[in-house]
Each structure stands twice: as C-alpha cells, then as structure tokens.
Structure 1
Amino acid sequence: FEMVVAGRLLDDGDVAVMMVEAGGTESTWELFEAGDAKVDEAVLAEGLDACKATIKQAIALQQELIDAVGGKPEIFEYTTAVDYSPEIMDAVMATGADRIASTQQIADKAERNAAEGELRDALVDELVGQFEGVEDADKQIKNAIRSATKAAVRKRIVEEGVRIDGRGLADLRELSAEVAVVPTAHGSGLFQRGDTQVLNFTTLGMKRMDQMVDGIDPVTRKRFMHHYNFPPFSTGETGFMRGPKRREIGHGALAERALYPVVPSLDDFPYTLRLVSEVLGSNGSSSMASVCASSLSLMDGGVPIKAAVAGIAMGLVYAEGKYTTLTDILGAEDAYGDMDFKVAGTSDFITALQLDTKIDGIPADVLAAALNQAKDARTQILATMADAIPAPRDDVGETAPKIMSFEIPIDKIGEVIGPKGKVINSIQAETGADISVDDDGAVGVVAIASSDKGVVNEAYRQINLILDPPTAEVGQKYMGRVVNITKFGAFVNILPGRDGLVHISKLGDGKRIDRVEDVLDLGDEIEVMVEDVDPNGKVSLTPIGEDGEPVKSGGGGGRDRDRGDRGGRGRDRDRGGRDRGGRDRGGRDRDRGGRGRDSGGSRQSVSFEDSFDSEVSEKHGDLGPDTRGGRRRRR
C-alpha cells in the first residue's frame, strides 16, 4: 500500500493534512494472504498520524534553508482583486438573503438550478440601478449572489445539520445496481446513486492486446485499463465531445487504482482487461460511482476479482470553529465545501484514497473520523451491489473469448510456429482459434482464444499432438496432406507433428515420372500406408491406389535418357541389400563424393546422384528398391 501525504505546520506544533494520495498495488492481495495486516480505517489513520513526524522534519529542513540564505524576502506591494465591493454584498444580503436561502432547500438539481437562475436575474434587475456608476456592477452583483448562496448552504449544514436535498449529514442518496445491461458486452454494470449514474463495460482480450506504455517509469505494459468518459449531457449541458480532458484522465486513473488490488493475476486469469465507464448523469462523485459500476461489470463478465469494491465521496464544512463531515456529497456541496475526500475499498480494507482541501489543512483526528463515517456508507453500497450480483460468475460470457494458456518447452516453440508460421497459421485457419506464442527466456507460453470453447479445445489438442506426436504404425493407412516436395519425393503429413516420405519411385501409379510435381502439388491430399519406421523415427510411405492396395514402384528420378546398362559399375542398384561388389551401403571404402579409381588407375569417376542418394538414405532410412536397372558409366 502506497501513500503520499502533504501537510503544513500549525502554530501549536501539530500538522494539518492538506493532500493525500493512497492506493494498493498489484501485490496487495498477496501480502494480505501472506498474513500482513489489511489496510483498514484504523491502519490508515495510524499512517496519517505517523506521517506527521516526517513532515515536521521536512519543514525544519526548509526553515534551515531559509535561514541560510538570510530569511524570507520582503513581500512586494500588491492590490487585492475582489469579486464585489462590500456595498454590493450588503445590498444583495438585504434584498435577497431569504430568497437565496429558500432556493437551496430545493432537492431536485434541475429545479434548483432553474430557481437560482431566475432569482439571479431578478436581483440583478433590482440592484443594478443602485450602482450605475460602478464598473461591471452586474458582474459584481452575480458574484455576490454566489457568495451569499455558499454562506446559506454552509450555515444550514453547520447549524441545522440539514443539507441541500434535505438529507442528514451521514445519509446516502437512493441506490440501485444492475448487471448484464448490455447482453452483447463481455460484462456490463449500471450503478446509480441519486442523480449520478454510470454504465460500465468490460472487454476481455488476449495477453498480446495489453497496452504498451512509453514512459519514464519501469512499467512498459498494462493489462488492466480503466477509461472514464464524462460527456456534457451528463450535467444537462451541450458541448463538444473531443478527446479526454485532464479531469477525465484523473478520475479514470483513480478508479483504476481502486480496482487494481483485487484484479486477478495473469497466471490466474490470462486475459487483458479494458473497462470503460460512461457517465450518463452526474451530481456528485461520478468517479466513485465508476468504481461501483466497474466492480459490477467485472463480476458480470466472469472476472474472478478477489472482492467487490465500492467508493464514496465525503465532504467537509469548517465554520464557527467546527468541522462537519458529509457523506455522499452533491455537486453543489463539493463546490461550497472545504474538502473533497474520496475513499474506495472492499468490506475489509481500503484500496484507494484521494483527499484535497480548500482550507489550510485538516487535523488527523478529523480525517480518522471521516474515514469511519465513509466505511459505514461503503458497507451500505456493497450490500446494494451484492443484491445485483453477490459474486463473480463462474465463467466468462458467451460473447467473450475463452482463453487457455499453458507453458511449453522453449525448444518446442519453433515446432509449434513452424517455418514462417506455417504450422500455427494452419491450425488457426483450420480451427478458427486465435493463437499466440511468447517466451520469457525460460519457457514458452501458448495462449489460445475463441468465443467457442470447443474451438479452443481442438486447437489445444492439435498443439499437444505437436508437442507429443503420436507414433505411426507400420502397415497402417492414413489420409495425409503434402507439405513439402523435393526432387526425390514428397513429404506427407499423416499425423500432427509427424511427416513421412513418399519416394518418387513410388509415385505415378506404377509408371515412371520425371518430376514429383507431375502428379502432386503442395496441399494435395493423398492416402498412404506406412511401409517402414526406422530407429530414428523417420517414416517411409507408400501411396494407396484406387483399389485400396499399395502402389507398386514405377521408377522415376528426373532423367529422360535410357537408364539401362551403365557398363563398368560392377554392381546393380537394388536397395534391398543385394551384393554391391563386396561393399555394402554402410561400409564403402570411399568418401561420399568419390567413386574410387577404375582398373587402369588413370581416372576418377564422380556421381553426384549417388552422393545425394546416400545423404537422403542416412536422413530418411531405406528408400526402397531401385527399379531403374543398370546404368552406364559416365566418362
């Protein structure tokens, strides 16, 4: 839990808090589970009190610096700008004080605003004639009316304990909560408190859809994002709807901080999450309403958050030496009050806090009391949310992607992806799943996503077969697909992760062919039978004819000339192990490129074809009998 506190030193030596920014981190829940104390109201109050000593030290250092440079500089002369003259203020109070106070007893915001506007225009018409010689008299009268309105609201709160809409100091407005408001969304939640209404949408995506952060801090990517939109119509106004403003960015960040500690880790929930809060109506604390709507939306979307989170905005009025704390402030109470104090958290602990004041500071004991008052309100809000949805749904919605994430050995990443992505693209095209493969330097991480759970399972099955390919059985027939063509034959995929070679001599339905491409193309389906599997796992295949029987070899190899007697070779080409003039395949007394010398010792004959056949045999095993017959010696 992180907390930043700013304060000033009072005359009595105490520290008055002026600003607080606090919130949990991604490790907050883990620490709580490990036994650390949860940051509740009591712990936070202790933290605020502990900050006083450090603030005093910082102020002392500042004073030392001031003394070192000769004290404070002289303050230059200036003229104070005023919004209105005392005479205009006296006239406004004498003429309209009672009428101004009556407008602040209208509970409905729209009706109250209308009444304020009518009264303002009436008072300006009545008083402007008394100040004909005063520059900007009408403007000063309007400013004086606003000050009188603020004084009337504050007086009623402090003296009577009654607020603008008639509520008591600790009363909440009417609450409501709904989920599954938009069926096609991955998750949605609608939260309303009085006139403030927020609709939130949750969208789930794969890990690679996280946000890239190009900043100066160590954080480079975000998988949890909350965006906050505050359109002009939410306050009954018209205006341009351009990009987000400073206020919207700040409110969105506060709600994101409040929710972050309860969001599940990537290992527990392999999704990227984007939440968007649309403020449909606003009359006080739309940012805390966004926290409530977001929590509802997450649970509706099947996100296993640790606990529901709710937020509440508190206010404070300081008058006549008395601090009066308000629960669930209206927009007008925020404007006329002395503090904006927003608290979010679960039923057990606080997840975020933001405080700023318009006065010189607030004693820590006043803040501690305000925290306890905020907890009572938060508990009521959480109960209303629980009526709508008590816990996260067991699974993500029908429209949301179903994501399966698992680790694979890092040396298997290449096999899953394939050359130029051929394997993974093939699986995606065949199943319709969205597949990503990443590595962290130690293991590979595969993520499979689709809105259809069956598609995810099928893609997982195919990838698992690549990781642990099945063994081809000798004599078994398979329907395969041509995945590669070479001069000496075609490689056919018969099982996931398992290819075999059909030698060119076995193609052509018993007839000799010059090129494999004459009878097969990449991607063609062909029925084959496993003829042999060597100790290294290399598979030799034979095509199956129309009669369902293996096709007999028909020769082939790419030459148009007669392959009869080669004269002088002294051996035939039977690959089944016939005599080769005292030399078997594994024990030739020459290298792969040489043929030895003839009987005369004057020449050396070299056959690139034999060398190539030898290399293929070592790689793929026995290629079957040679049906090409004898060959003449090349000179």
Structure 2
Amino acid sequence: MRRPNVGKLGIHEHTVEIDGRSITFEAGTLAAQAGGAVVISLGDTKVLSTTTASKQPKDFLPFFPLTIEVEERMYANGRIPGSFFKREGRPSENAILVCRLTDRPLRPTFAEGLRNEVQVVNTIIQTTQVDPYDVVAMNGSSLSTMLSGLPFSGPVAAVRYAMLRDGSWVPFPTFEELEEEAVFNMVISGRVEDDGEVAILMIEAEATPDSWIKIDMGAPAPTEQVIGQAIEDVKPIIKQLCEAQQAFVDEVGVRDAGEYPLFLDYTDEVFDAVWAEGEAKVLEVYRQAELSKEGKDEAITEVKTAVVDAVVAAGVGDLDEDALRKQASEAFRSTEKKVVRGLIVDEGFRIDGRSATEIRSLTAEVGILPKTHGSALFQRGDTQVVSVLALGTTREGQRLDTLDPADEKLFLHHYNMPPYSTGEAGRVGSPKRREIGHGALAERALIPVLPEQDEWPYAIRVVSDVLASNGSTSMGSVCAASMALMDGGVPTHAQVAGIAMGLVYENGKYTTLTDIQGVEDFFGDMDFKVAGPEGFITALQLDTKLAGIPANVLQDALLQAREARLDILDVMNDAISEPRDEVADGAPRVEIVHIPQDKIGAVIGPRGAIIKELVEETGAQIDVDEEAGRGVVKIYANSREVAQDALDRINAIANPQLPEKGERYHATVVKTVDFGAFVSLTPGTDGLLHISELSKMKGKRLGHAEEAVEVGEQVLVEVLDVLDGGRKFKLQYVGEKAGETAGADAPADAPADAPGDDAGEERPRSRDRERGGRERGGRGSGDRGGRERGGRDRDSGRDSSGDSGRDSGGDSGSDAGGDTGGRTRTRTRSRSRDRD
C-alpha cells in the first residue's frame, strides 16, 4: 500500500517584544478551513482565534450581524469541568465579558453596510493562570479578521496597562502583579490612523480590589490626571502591536475571499427627499425642551409617519413602494440624528434645554424596603434604579470554575433592565450579555470601597433593577448600590457615584456632554462612563462609534466628569453619608474567634459531642478550622443574641481569661499584612498592631509590616480599649521589641507592668474631612451621623489606632438590633453646573 505524502504545512511565526514580554503569532498549522486563523501566545497562555463569514449576505437585517464567542476549555489548565456532566456548558461570566471587550473595538472598524454574518471564535487552548487571556484574545481576533479578507480597517491592538503601587505603569501585567502590586489597571484598544496617530477605540478600566489600602499606605491614587496621562503613554505600545500585526499579515497573506457586497440603508436621493420634507418638522419637535421624553417620542412618531407617507406618495427614482418606505424610514432616523447633532455642535443646545455640562435633576433615597437588608432608590432625570442588598455567610458566596485563579466571589452585583423600563413588552428571563456587562461594571466600581474579609466576613449580593430608563442606567446602578450598601450596614470606605459622558463630532469639532440621555447616546459618537468616590476613579468604560478618539479629548472628558461626579456625591451623601452601625434585624450574624491550637479538641469534644451540643443549644452554626497554628471558630447565627450566646460559650471553653484595658503585653507577632501585624496577647487572643504604630518603632513611614517585625518576634504593646465584649482590642506600641528593653525577661504573651502616666494616648487621625466626624446612630437613632471617615483626603492608614483588623477594635457592623425607624431619608435636587 502506498503511503501518503508527509510534509509540513506552511507555518508562519512572528514575535514582538514589549517591555520584556513576548507576544507570538502563529498561522498555518491549526484551523485551516476557517476564513482566518491564528494562534497567539503571551507567556504560556495560548488562544486560537478564528474569523469566518457566511457566503451569502443577510441584506434584510438593519444591522451588522457580528458575533464574538469565547470558549474556555478546561483542559487548557489540566482540569476536568466541575459540572455534573463534566463538560463545558454555557460561557462563564468572565468569558461573556471578554466577548464584549472584543466586540466593542472591532465592530466600528468593519465596512459600513456589511451584512454577511461574521463569527469570531476565541478558544483558550492553554493557560497556566499566570497571564489574563483577554487581551491575547482581543489581539488574536483582530489578526484572524485581517487574514480572513473581510472589509476591515484593522489592525486593532489591545493592551492591559497597570499602575503599580510605586507609580510606574507596566504593560501586560501578570495575575500576581495585579493582585500584589497594582493599584489600577486598564484594557485599552486602539488603531493607527492614516496620519500615524493612534486613535483610542475602547477602554475598560478599574481600581484593584485592595487599592484603597494601598493608597492609604502611600501609593498614588488613580486620579483623572494620572489616567489621562496613562492613556497618552500607552499609545506607542498600541502602535507597536499594530505594526507587528500588519507585518505578520504581509508575510502570511490575506485569503482571497472575493468581494463582499455592502448594503446601504438608503440612497442619497431618498435621504435628500426625507430631509427636505422633514428637517423643519423634526427641528420644531426637538427645540421644545419642555416636552417630556414620552411627549417627544409621540411627536416624533407622528412626524415620521407624515414624512414617510409624503415621500412614498411623491416617489423617488424607480424604487417600489415597499423598498422606498423602508429606505425612507431609515433616512428619517438619520435626519433625526443630523438635527440633534447640529443643535448640540452648532448652537450648544440639548433637546431637554441643558447646557453641555449640566446634570439632570437628582433624587436619592434609602430604606425604601425596610424589611430587606438594605435598599436605595436613585433617580436621574427619567432614569430610575432601585438597588437591594442581601447579606449571607461566606458559604453562600459564588463558587467559580473558570480559567482564572479566583475560585470564589463574595461580592456580587446583578443588574436587570426589564422591557417595561422603556415602555415596551419583551422577553423576561435570564440576563442578556448587556445586563451581565453593566452589572460587572458597577461591581468593579464598588469593590475597592468594600471592607476586607478579615474584618467583615460576609457574602454580599446587591441587585439593581432599572425601573425606568432614559440613559446612564449602569451609572445609576452604581449610585443606588453604593447607598444600599451603606443602608445595610456594610462598612464601606466611601460613597461611589457614576456619570455617563457623551461626545458628538462634527466638522472637526468635538463636543463633550455630561450626563447623556437615551437620544444623545443613540445619536452620539461616544458613551464614556466614569465612577468613583471623591478622591479617585474606581471604574471607567469607553465605547465609541468612531474609528478612534484622540487621547486629549478623553482627558478633557475625564475632568468634566469629575465635576459632575462630585455633585452627585453631594446628593447621595445628603441621603446617607455613613454606613449604619448595625446590619438589619433579618441579616445573618457572623462572628470569628481565635482559640489556642490545643483548645480545638476541647471545643469539638469527643466525637464532636461538645460542638454538637453548642449547635443544638444555641441554634448557631459553628465551624472550627486550623489556620497558622491556631484555631479559628466561625459562628453563623440569625440574631445578635444567638451569636453572642455561642461566642460566650466558646470563650468560656477556650479563652477563659481575656486582656483588660490598660494592660501591657509582650505580644508575639503571628502574621504580617500590608496594613499591620497581628500579635498574640494571650493564647488564642490576637489583636492588630496597625502599621502606623509599627512606624513609631522605626521612626519612619513603612510600606509593609515586615519592614519592622517578623513572625515570631515580640513587641511591647498596651491595650487601649476592649471592644465588642472582648472580641476586639485596640493596641498601641509602647516600647522596643521584646528582648531589647528592661522588661525583656518577662514571659512571652504575658502582661507587663501596668502603664504609667506617660503611657501615651491614641493618636488622632492625620487627615480628616473638613466637616469632621459625627457620632453614629444606629438604625433607630435620630442622628444619622457616622464614624470619622476620610472624604477626599483619607487618613494614611485604615485607622491610626490600629483597629482595622478583625481582632483590633472598631465596629465592623457585625452586631445588629434596634428598630428600623428612621431608615428612610430622601433628598431631591436639581443641579446645574454650566461652564460654557
């Protein structure tokens, strides 16, 4: 039998080096029958990107049928899917978000009028969970589309760009760098224009989850100026990637796919006829700023019917009636667009009478559903969002089975926009990609201000329902969710507000709009969303319909958005400015107590007899684990009384003696973290010595506790206060490391001499808000004041007295009780900031 010919395929490979990272393109080996196929690698992460188009156009569609898919293959990381059927099912949320990331810069670069169905599929075929695969897939999508021969004005390049705690920016950071060092990270996509300049197509950016702590410790904040400069600085990297893609395409060659027909919505003759008949009528409607959204919609519908009928009756060219009616309808929409844009650019007039920098009327209210764990309503103009909080134990968090390192989520924000919010009837059910994307954007905006799990061990879910929509619903959900968290007693660091900016480009002039409504979003060229507290940006998203936007235009839009964000924060803070002292009566209580390792058996008892008895008698759920050479007991209860009962019984068994106020201890360091060191006062009793106290030891500001102490060392501390019934301790550093003082011969973990008159006082906060702190009331108190919290100028540490840890003092919101009276506060205000 004759053997078949054996040979190698035409393999092409190209590598580009960017700041020490290698990105490799390969073609000619895999997926040869796809329109275009490329394997792109970053480190050990490999993505197969393919682009294929249908052979026949769907000319009846009024839009370009582009579909982006991401297939996460679990074998890529040597794993078997955890589902019952042991195979991949519907895309993960992360995969859906990457689809949206890829779609947004690619869609506006296809030729207008293309109606062939185009499908881009990114298959993750290898990963070691070192590098995120999203930007790899985005660059691969551009490259495979160019190779397919479609009418596409690429290449389009994407870069993940992260700011580290030292202020430097790095391209293509690893997961480890993002977690340990990064303060802010952006995915930026762009293309090179004919004049060689780089135009920005898409931005998706966020502060890292622990950015608040890093900024408190001295890291630079991601302000508008910092981000604006980074957008400019990343342009050479985008250009380098685009040039590498083009060089690879020139080497491989483009598939000869023939000509793709382009179907324009209408002919020039039809548009001229519609414009002549309808321009004045449309202008008359949109000049009536006093008309409501519904009133304008009704008036425009009447004008459209009359104009289309008139054009059809007059006839245009040799088009039949059905074709002419269809084209005239599309041309009328373009007439609307041209009129609205002309009013904005030429006259500075917006259809509701606002100036370019003016915000619609605002309403903020909390406690609207008093029997839930927390609730808030936020309304901006005709856009209305209600957010509701639900708290649970960490067992109720979301377990993840994806290709990312994270295996669980303890904060969830879900966004819903039912059809009735726009006065329509439609499908109600599982969330669409848009809803998933909007929910994730608000989630990322809020994560940086959430408390750390060590001090507040809850699973948190916020659901934002859009009840009425006229633009900027995702940013409305940020505002409502932020207030709902505070209303529910979640000890967030600050309020977070969001604003949507728009852009209109006509005749070489860019006009930036603050707080765009639906018509301005639909007819405009950009949707630019910015969210954050007073001091910095926590989330940012850019979508554009243009082929690119100059970076300086985006920088100006960022500064304009800041003014609006501060105005919105004022209204939100009038409704609720500080988290409530206690969680709602119906919310679960979670308590954590540390016990000596040798007491674990005593708490559990023979064959679990003791812990079973505790569970049965108290009604609490109790888990006992071992961590870092000590026992960790977690108590889950439905009421404060049940939690306290279980806690008292555990302490009676394992921690019979607790430190008292004024006592000094040669405490042993058991764990170091960014914001301080956990020290053991007595067996099973720990407290946090804040990094500000450790700084006293060295006489200088520290970046990490390990610069002052190491695990196992002893330090002399004083108990300033005992809080929460002996569960938390405020500590102060009062001497050198144990072993270096006169009292060094005192036994470890034992009280030292009582403090004298010079024991020192708790150091005040270094940078408080100008308006100062207020005494916080509970859910039933009349005064809705709050803890001292930094506003625009946060103090340099979480708490200079050292109470940011679980066992270090301060109220974490774990206790509850009190009635729900006084929970509802409303503030409605119209704001106008005109800087024209």
Q: TM-score, normalised by structure 2?
A: 0.54
How far residue 135 of structure 1 moved from its aligned partner, in angstroms, is 4.7
Q: Is the 8 A contact 2:590 2:637 kept in 1?
A: yes
Would the alpha carbon gap of residues 148 and 303 (structure 1) be closer, same or farther in structure 2, given more than 3 Å must change?
same
1:461 equivalenced with 2:655 (yes/no): no
1:27 equivalenced with 2:210 (yes/no): yes
1:112 equivalenced with 2:299 (yes/no): no
Distance, in Å, in 2 between the alignment partners of 1:413 and 1:18 is 57
Q: How does 1:224-623 map onto structure 2 within 5 Å? A: 224-418=411-605, 421-440=608-627, 442-468=629-655
Q: Is the 8 A contact 2:500 2:527 kept in 1?
A: yes
Q: Is the 8 A contact 2:450 2:493 kept in 1?
A: yes
Distance, in Å, in 1 between the alignment partners of 2:509 and 2:194 is 18
Distance, in Å, in 2 between the alignment partners of 1:139 and 1:67 is 41
Q: Is the 8 A contact 2:383 2:472 kept in 1?
A: yes
Q: Is the 8 A contact 2:595 2:655 kept in 1?
A: no
Would the alpha carbon gap of residues 109 and 62 (structure 1) be closer, same or farther in structure 2, given more than 3 Å must change?
same
Report the AA paired with residue 280 of structure 2. Answer: D
Q: How does 1:28-177 map onto structure 2 within 5 Å? A: 28-69=211-252, 76-106=258-288, 107-131=291-315, 133-177=320-364
Would the alpha carbon gap of residues 121 and 446 (structure 1) be closer, same or farther in structure 2, given more than 3 Å must change?
same
SS in 2 for 1:460: helix
Report the AA paired with residue 249 of structure 1. Answer: I
Q: Is the 8 A contact 2:357 2:513 kept in 1?
A: yes
How far residue 274 of structure 1 moved from its aligned partner, in angstroms, is 0.8
Q: Give the % identical residues.
A: 51
Distance, in Å, in 2 between the alignment partners of 1:124 and 1:445 is 73
Q: Is the 8 A contact 1:186 1:399 kept in 2?
A: yes
Report the AA paired with residue 200 of structure 1. Answer: S
Report the AA paired with residue 386 of structure 1. Answer: N
How far residue 411 of structure 1 moved from its aligned partner, in angstroms, is 4.9
Distance, in Å, in 2 between the alignment partners of 1:206 and 1:417 is 21
How far residue 419 of structure 1 moved from its aligned partner, in angstroms, is 5.3
SS in 2 for 1:398: coil
Deviation by residue 1:409-466 (Cα, 9 ceiling, x = unmatched): 4454444344565433322222222333344464432222334322211111111223
SS in 2 for 1:294: helix
Distance, in Å, in 2 between the alignment partners of 1:320 and 1:91 is 23
SS in 2 for 1:81: coil
SS in 2 for 1:214: coil
1:190 equivalenced with 2:377 (yes/no): yes
Report the AA paired with residue 95 of structure 1. Answer: E
Report the AA paired with residue 114 of structure 1. Answer: E
SS in 2 for 1:17: strand
Report the AA paired with residue 61 of structure 1. Answer: A
Distance, in Å, in 2 between the alignment partners of 1:108 and 1:413 is 67
SS in 2 for 1:136: helix
How far residue 150 of structure 1 moved from its aligned partner, in angstroms, is 0.5
- Per the alignment, residue 810 of structure 2 pairs with none
How far residue 62 of structure 1 moved from its aligned partner, in angstroms, is 1.8
Distance, in Å, in 2 between the alignment partners of 1:252 and 1:453 is 32
Distance, in Å, in 2 between the alignment partners of 1:20 and 1:151 is 27
Q: Is the 8 A contact 1:309 1:346 kept in 2?
A: yes
Would the alpha carbon gap of residues 120 and 422 (structure 1) be closer, same or farther in structure 2, given more than 3 Å must change?
farther
Q: Is the 8 A contact 2:274 2:308 kept in 1?
A: no
Distance, in Å, in 1 between the alignment partners of 2:571 and 2:435 is 26
- Per the alignment, residue 497 of structure 1 pairs with none
Distance, in Å, in 2 between the alignment partners of 1:340 and 1:222 is 29
1:215 equivalenced with 2:402 (yes/no): yes
Would the alpha carbon gap of residues 292 and 44 (structure 1) be closer, same or farther in structure 2, given more than 3 Å must change?
same
Distance, in Å, in 2 between the alignment partners of 1:413 and 1:164 is 69
- Per the alignment, residue 196 of structure 2 pairs with 13
Distance, in Å, in 1 between the alignment partners of 2:394 and 2:409 is 10
SS in 1 for 2:190: strand
Deviation by residue 1:132-179 (Cα, 9 ceiling, x = unmatched): 735522111111110100100000000011111111111000001111
How far residue 73 of structure 1 moved from its aligned partner, in angstroms, is 6.5
Q: TM-score, normalised by structure 1?
A: 0.71
How far residue 35 of structure 1 moved from its aligned partner, in angstroms, is 0.2
Distance, in Å, in 1 between the alignment partners of 2:385 and 2:604 is 44
Q: Which has the larger radius of gyration?
A: 1
Q: Is the 8 A contact 1:104 1:149 kept in 2?
A: no
Q: Is the 8 A contact 2:312 2:321 kept in 1?
A: no
How far residue 400 of structure 1 moved from its aligned partner, in angstroms, is 2.1
How far residue 95 of structure 1 moved from its aligned partner, in angstroms, is 1.2
Deviation by residue 1:27-82 (Cα, 9 ceiling, x = unmatched): 21121011011000000011101101211211221232233336x66784343201
Would the alpha carbon gap of residues 342 and 445 (structure 1) be closer, same or farther in structure 2, given more than 3 Å must change?
same
Q: Which has the higher helix share?
A: 1
Would the alpha carbon gap of residues 443 and 229 (structure 1) be closer, same or farther in structure 2, given more than 3 Å must change?
farther
Report the AA paired with residue 366 of structure 2. Answer: V
Would the alpha carbon gap of residues 362 and 461 (structure 1) be closer, same or farther in structure 2, given more than 3 Å must change?
same
Q: Is the 8 A contact 2:502 2:527 kept in 1?
A: yes
How far residue 357 of structure 1 moved from its aligned partner, in angstroms, is 0.8
Would the alpha carbon gap of residues 97 and 39 (structure 1) be closer, same or farther in structure 2, given more than 3 Å must change?
same
Distance, in Å, in 2 between the alignment partners of 1:124 and 1:134 is 11
How far residue 339 of structure 1 moved from its aligned partner, in angstroms, is 0.6
Would the alpha carbon gap of residues 431 and 10 (structure 1) be closer, same or farther in structure 2, given more than 3 Å must change?
same
- Per the alignment, residue 544 of structure 1 pairs with none
- Per the alignment, residue 547 of structure 1 pairs with none
SS in 2 for 1:250: helix
- Per the alignment, residue 577 of structure 1 pairs with none
Deviation by residue 1:601-627 (Cα, 9 ceiling, x = unmatched): xxxxxxxxxxxxxxxxxxxxxxxxxxx
Where do 4+ consecutive residues of structure 1 move more than 6 Å? none
Report the AA paired with residue 128 of structure 1. Answer: V
How far residue 185 of structure 1 moved from its aligned partner, in angstroms, is 1.1
